[in-house]
Amino acid sequence: AQTVTQSQPEMSVQEAETVTLSCTYDTSESDYYLFWYKQPPSRQMILVIRQEAYKQQNATENRFSVNFQKAAKSFSLKISDSQLGDAAMYFCAYTPGDYGGSQGNLIFGKGTKLSVKP
Amino acid sequence: DAMVIQNPRYQVTQFGKPVTLSCSQTLNHNVMYWYQQKSSQAPKLLFHYYDKDFNNEADTPDNFQSRRPNTSFCFLDIRSPGLGDAAMYLCATSTGKRQLAKNIQYFGAGTRLSVL
């Protein structure tokens, strides 16, 4: 069974600084997708960034980038120039690439609560 | 504009009293999901619909049911809520078409259920 592990329950970063959130996963599949989702307090979960396993190049979205190490099954999120609005719970998630009959069900890690200090 | 809408945002029910949570979408997506998220925990998939095909997760209690009368709407029915069912319930959608989906799910804001 696939699993996703986020080993940092809480992280803190100073405004304008850089922070890295860790995520590891376990799968025997070769084709899959990895995601970071952000869930602000009392607000809906939104996609931050997505990585296809077959792509070697790390995904980037403005201030957000990932370090995808397929062999090590590691998928960390780097947030540069942190802003107060980045404070949220961040979830790492996995889904198999061929759906496997599961229509792309997401398997989430337990989340990392990020605080941003002014 | 909200694309996945959940109503109500907050729902209070009594122990054992049936309750229905609602989700609607304007994305015309084929797949709709229901997740349960307890405090400080990761969302856990309960079930999903691909069009009219219902897919239940193996460990979803029988107390939880779902209906999808059309593409736009999906309901979560809890037949006899217990105290342990108090949680945030998240609805999500995806296209279900791999070429287009890129496996992205779009979430609603959730319904927080309290059981008294």
State residue A57's pLDDT score: 92
Which residues in chain B land under pLDDT 70? 1-2, 97-102
pLDDT band at residue A100, thresholds of 50, 70 and 90? very low
Mean pLDDT across the stretch A7-18? 96
Closest by Cβ to A45, choosing from B101, B103, B107: B107
Q: How far apart are CA B106 and CA B94, in angstroms?
A: 6
State how far the alpha carbon of A72 is from the alpha carbons of A4, A23, A26, in Å.
13, 11, 10
Q: How far apart are CA A80 and CA A63, in angstroms?
A: 5
Taking CB atoms and an 8 Å cutoff, what residues of chain B touch A109? 42
- Which residues contact residue A107 at a Cβ distance below 8 angstroms, ignoring those fewer than 6 apart? A2, A3, A4, A93, A94, A95
State residue A106's pLDDT score: 87
Average pLDDT of chain A?
Answer: 91
Q: How far apart are CA B62 and CA B108, in angstroms?
A: 24
CB of A52 within 8 A of CB of A33? yes
Taking CB atoms and an 8 Å cutoff, what residues of chain B touch A103? 31, 48, 50, 55, 94, 96
* A18: nearest Cα among A77, A79, A70, A68: A79
State how far the alpha carbon of A74 is from the alpha carbons of A26, B28, B42, B43, B53, in Å.
9, 34, 19, 21, 34
Residue contact B94–A99, C-beta within 8 A = no
- Comparing alpha-carbon positions, the chain A residue that sits nearest to B10 is A42
DSSP A83: -
| Most A CBs within 10 Å, among B103, B105, B106, B107, to test the A interface | B103
Is A111 an 8 Å CB contact of chain B? Answer: yes
CB pairs under 8 A between A and B: 58
Taking CB atoms and an 8 Å cutoff, what residues of chain A touch B104? 35, 47, 50
pLDDT tens column, A27-70 = 988 888 899 999 998 778 999 999 988 888 999 999 999 999 99
State residue A1's pLDDT score: 75
- Comparing alpha-carbon positions, the chain A residue that sits nearest to B46 is A105
The Cβ-side half-sphere exposure at B63, using a 13 Å CA radius, reads 13
